Amino acid sequence: MTGSKRKTPDALRSARWFAPDDLRAFGHRSRAMQMGYAPEEWAGRPVIAILNTWSDAQPCHMHFKTRVDDVKRGILQAGGFPMELPALSLSESFLKPTTMLYRNLLAMDAEELLRGHPVDGVVLMGGCDKTTPALLLGAISMGLPTIYLPAGPMLRGNWKGKVLGSGSDAWKYWDERRAGKISDSDWVDVEAGIARSYGTCMTMGTAATMMAMAETLGMTLPGASSIPAADASHIRMSAETGRRIVEMVWEDLTPRKIMTRDAFLNAITVAMAVGCSTNAIIHLIAIARRAGQDIGLNDFERASRTVPVIANIRPSGDKYLMEDFFYAGGLPGLMEQIRGQLHLETMTVTGKTLGENIKGAEIYNDDVIRTPANAIYKEGALAVLKGNLAPDGCVIKPSACAPKFLKHTGPALVFDDYPSMKEAIDRDDLDVTEDTVLILRNAGPQGGPGMPEWGMLPIPKKLVKQGVRDMVRLSDSRMSGTSYGACILHVSPESYIGGPLALVKTGDMISLDVDKRTINMNVSDKELASRRAAWKKPEPRYERGYGWMFTRHIKQANEGCDFDFLETSFGAPVAEPSIY
Ligand code: FES
């Protein structure tokens, strides 16, 4: 940021707490000294919050317990004062009913932690699925200089010499077990081998996608999102992140200067090129709205027509994982490959532009990071469909489903909730064929509640035994980024609030045409009107507590699932806290 005016120590936000000659500042100083810090350790220095999402229930962030010390080391080296603040952990593995119920709670946690404490800048430590968008949402709304530290992916899984991928191979081998093709003891060995180190899922799931989005938006150090958690360079990157945030405070380099509309368009382009998780759509829309940028499904649709999938990583690719992506050149290599499709002048946390950051990045394995001419899928990873079933849109990941289902008509088999689907799906007398369209409803933002990752509905057992491994499935839920198959997701508006999905009946013919971007039920308007007249609004999911607040304020999937009152457009910015 050459040429811009540097902040002076007396202009630091933390000086409001520490500098005045009054009784409150006396309290702040004396309590800092109670912790063993001498005044020269904080006075006139940027105080850097470290929002750490470590917990004993968070395997993907296990290393954060000690990695935070490397961040602190960097902050101290650069003349800052670190202040670690634990934040909600959002473990995708253990938190129920779904972490998406709590994304906005972590966003609020992050925003208010920063607002209430004497801090000048922040390092966000996240990675497991919802933690990246949640931390970014909160940090944008607070507006302090911010840098993101991605947890990084875990190492490749291994079972009997076979490479295992997070999520994707769990579904795959579960179907093999249901079909009687692997033994119980094999299954236990798969369980032990699929997650071999700390770090996030190592397929191109939501975690890897959103960490890549953070980097593309300009919020991480270059290359940071691709480094495996267990690689020593992740430790060095953590210390460098600590050093850099101190400078960012002096430069007053805030998220709003980085996350411009062009930065979001870059993120969408890269999302398509990496074969992103479908969840990227929801999170990027929410983050953009917080940054005051109008990003919507149309932007994804436009990119999906022009950007090929060039990262050969599962589940869109058939072979490689994030560890291979790192060795092949990582995200800088991929971005350099599609340089012509990016806005290279966008600012980043380095104080340099994206174009400057990726210049000269190399690719070391062109089977992992392909050329556009040798893409693994000629168009983008996601397609947005609309029609009388989803007037506000829904999404499919064509790059991860059997091509024959990209144009399909079949009879609906409707389940009103997950328990009834689970109870029926393995029955031998289930009236279902490979052409059936499995439908799950009441699984959206309010109906789930929290839009659980149920969208990759299991293939009925009788079809699994016949060798069927994919079929069209449709719901208002989400699916894990590690999932695959002809799954149509995020149907908006959701059925629970009376979206058309609430009106479908078993036996209705459903037509899907990905090329034309359409999804329809072949039912007359007259019949739909009579079904609507008979539809009854379901009972509210919650009578009290956080869930009560959630269901009253959550927005639909096509709008990013933020709370209405957290969106930037809702009202004037929140003032700094008074100190009396
Ligand atoms: Fe944490 Fe997948 S469970 S990233």
pLDDT over threshold 60, residue 3: no
Angle CA 9–12–14, to nearest 5? 120
**Would the CB of 207 count as within 6 Å of ligand 1?**
yes
Best residue for ligand 1 mutational test, from 129, 154, 225 (most atoms within 8 Å of Cβ):
129
Amino acid 219: pLDDT: 98
Residue with token string 């990003």: 295
Q: Which atom of ligand 1 is nearest to the CA of 58?
A: 1
User: Which residue spans within 327-417 are E strands per DSSP?
Assistant: 383-387, 390-396, 407-415
Alpha-carbon span 41 to 38, nearest angstrom = 6
**Residue 96 CB neighbour total at 10 angstroms:** 9
Q: Is 154 left (phi over 0), alpha (psi -120 to 50) or beta?
A: beta
Mean per-residue pLDDT, 395-416:
93
In the 8-state DSSP scheme, what is residue 272?
Answer: H
478-509: b or e for each residue (b if 16 or more CB lie within 10 Å)?
A: bbbbbbbbbbbbbbbbbbbbebbbbbbeeebe
Do 343 and 262 meet the contact criterion of CB atoms below 8 Å apart?
yes
Distance CA 98, CA 101 (A): 6
For residues 68 and 84, give the distance between their C-alpha atoms in angstroms, rounded to a whole number: 8
CA of 96 to the centre of ligand 1 (A): 14
| % helix, strand, coil for the chain, step of 5 | 40, 15, 45
d(CA 27, ligand 1 centre) in Å? 41
Query: How many angstroms does the Cα of residue 204 sit away from the middle of ligand 1?
Result: 11
pLDDT recorded at residue 4: 64
Q: For 432-456, write each residue's pLDDT tens digit.
A: 999 999 999 999 999 999 999 999 9
Q: What is the dihedral of CA 495, 501, 502, 505, to 10 degrees?
A: -150
Determine how many CB atoms are found less than 10 A away from the CB of residue 188: 10
CA gap 342, 268 in Å, rounded: 10
| Token code pair at residue 12 | 């630091």
**pLDDT value at 1 more than 80:** no
Three-state secondary structure of 131-158: HHHHHHHHHHHHCCCEEEEECCECCCEE
| Span 460-478, average pLDDT | 94
Mutate to test the pocket of ligand 1, among 64, 201, 479 (most ligand atoms within 8 A of CB): 201
Identify whether the C-beta of residue 73 lies closer than 8 Å to the C-beta of residue 242. yes
Residues 127, 223: Cα–Cα separation, whole Å: 15
Average pLDDT along the chain? 95
pLDDT in tens, 249-298: 999 999 999 999 999 999 999 999 999 999 999 999 999 999 999 999 99
* Whole-angstrom distance, CA of residue 420 vs CA of residue 430: 12
Decide whether any atom of ligand 1 lies within 6 Å of the 151 Cβ.
no
Tell me if 209 CB under 6 Å of ligand 1.
Answer: no
How confident is the model over 185-237, as pLDDT tens digits?
A: 999 999 999 999 999 999 999 999 999 999 999 999 999 999 999 999 999 99
Contact (Cβ atoms closer than 8 angstroms) between residue 511 and residue 522: yes
Residue 277 token pair? 């998780």
Distances (CA, A) of 357 to 19, 221, 534: 38, 9, 58
Residue among 58, 60, 62, 168 whose CB has most ligand 1 atoms within 8 A, to mutate: 60
Helices 206-217, 330-337: axis angle to 10 degrees equals 70
Rounded to the nearest angstrom, the distance between the alpha carbon of 143 and the centre of ligand 1 is 27
Computed on alpha carbons and rounded to an integer, the radius of gyration of the chain in Å comes to: 24
Cα–Cα–Cα angle for 423, 428, 431, rounded to 5 degrees: 85
Q: What is the pLDDT of residues 173-186, one digit of tens each?
A: 988 898 889 999 99
Q: Determine contact, residues 146/244, Cβ cutoff 8 Å.
A: no
Please, which residues have CB within 8 angstroms of residue 28's CB and are 6 or more apart in sequence? Answer: 17, 18, 118
Q: Is 322 in the pocket of ligand 1 (CB under 6 A)?
A: no
Taking the centre of ligand 1 as the mean of its atom positions, its distance from the CA of residue 167, in whole angstroms, is 9
Give the tens place of pLDDT for each residue, 129-182: 999 999 999 999 999 999 999 999 999 999 999 999 998 889 889 888 988 899
Cβ atoms of residues 28 and 102 within 8 Å: no
Cα 433 to Cα 410: distance, rounded to the nearest angstrom: 9
Asked whether 120 and 247 are in contact (CB, 8 A), the reply is no
What pLDDT is stored for residue 401 in this prediction?
85
Average pLDDT over residues 62-70: 98
Q: In sequence order, what DSSP letters do the residues of 527-564 get, joined into one string?
A: HHHHHHHH--PPPPS-SSHHHHHHHHHBPPGGGTS-BG
DSSP 450: S
pLDDT digits (tens, 9 = 90+) for 544-564: 999 999 999 999 999 999 999
Can you give the pLDDT at residue 172? 87
Residue nearest to atom 1 of ligand 1 (CA): 128
Backbone angles phi, psi at 295, to 5 degrees: -115, 135
d(CA 412, CA 35): 64
HSE-CB of 462 using CA atoms within 13 angstroms: 11
Q: Are 386 and 493 in contact (CB under 8 A)?
A: no
| Percent above pLDDT 70 for the chain | 99
Query: 476 alpha carbon to ligand 1 midpoint, in Å?
Result: 22
Which ligand 1 atom is nearest residue 91's CA? 1
Indicate the DSSP class of residue 6: P
Q: Does residue 578 have a pLDDT over 90?
A: yes
CA of 461 to the centre of ligand 1 (A): 27
Residues 241, 349: contact at Cβ < 8 Å? no
Contact 308, 382 (CB under 8 A): no
What pLDDT is attached to residue 552?
94
Dihedrals phi, psi of 557, to nearest 5 degrees: -60, -40
Q: How many other C-beta atoms are found inside a 10 Å radius of the C-beta of residue 391?
A: 14
What's the CA-to-centroid distance between 561 and ligand 1, angstroms? 20
Distance, CA 47 to ligand 1 centroid (Å)?
30
Confidence band, pLDDT 50/70/90 cuts, at residue 399? confident
Taking the centre of ligand 1 as the mean of its atom positions, its distance from the CA of residue 128, in whole angstroms, is 5
| CA 325/CA 92 separation, integer angstroms | 23
DSSP label of 383: E
Q: Provide, rounded to the nearest whole percent, the portion of the chain with pLDDT above 90.
A: 91
pLDDT digits (tens, 9 = 90+) for 316-368: 898 999 999 999 999 999 999 999 999 999 999 999 999 999 999 999 999 99
Helices 131-142, 206-217: axis angle to 10 degrees equals: 30
Tokens of 13: 């936000």
b or e along 281-312 (b: 16 or more beta carbons within 10 Å of the residue's beta carbon)?
bbbbbbbbbbbebebbbebbbbbbeebbbbbb
- Candidates 90, 93, 106, 479: which one to mutate for ligand 1, based on the most atoms within 8 Å of Cβ? 93
Q: Is 60 in the pocket of ligand 1 (CB under 6 A)?
A: yes
* Distance in Å, CA 228 to ligand 1 centroid: 14
Q: Which residue's CA is minimally distant from atom 2 of ligand 1?
A: 201
Band of residue 5 on the pLDDT scale cut at 50, 70, 90: confident
The alpha-helical segments, DSSP class H, found in 179-317 are 184-193, 206-217, 232-251, 255-258, 261-274, 279-290, 297-306
Determine if ligand 1 sits within 6 Å of the CB of residue 129: yes
Residue 525: count other Cβ atoms within 10 Å of its Cβ. 8
Question: How many Å lie between the centroid of ligand 1 and the Cα of residue 219?
Answer: 20
